[in-house]
Amino acid sequence: MYDIIAILIPIVLAICIVVIFRIIVDARLRRRLAETHSSETLVLSLLKSDEVNRRKSSLKWGVVLMSLGVGCVVIDLLELGVEDPSAFGLLFLAIGAGMVVHYRIDREDQP
């Protein structure tokens, strides 16, 4: 158990650093656009695309986390342990299925 935590800590730290860096870069870009008095249509289209991306991101993570939860329930029902490779395969399969479901839902929304 502690081996997994020791592996996950640097990975989560790297992800957090990347997310913080992206937030800072996006904020600077928006501020620079506001300072240079860019066209109003450009700023509005940028804000609209950010809003759409935010909504789609929430949908994606919701579907993926739900499918991951279903995968964990199946692993528990099949009484698989951490040392079983099939448990990891089942988790990856559940995540992939969640991504495919999100893709199908996202394609239905587009005209």
Q: For 58-76, write each residue's pLDDT tens digit.
A: 888 889 999 989 998 998 8
pLDDT band, residue 98 (cuts 50/70/90): very high
Q: Which residue has the higher pLDDT, 5 or 93?
A: 93
Separation between Cα atoms, residue 37 and residue 26, nearest integer Å: 17
pLDDT of residue 111: 60
Of 63, 24, 30, nearest to 49 by C-alpha is: 30
Q: How far apart are the first and last CA of the chain?
A: 47
Predicted confidence (pLDDT) per residue in 78-89, tens digit:
988 878 888 888
Give the predicted TM-score (pTM) of the model. 0.61
Give the HSE-up count for residue 52: Cα atoms under 13 Å, Cβ half-sphere: 9
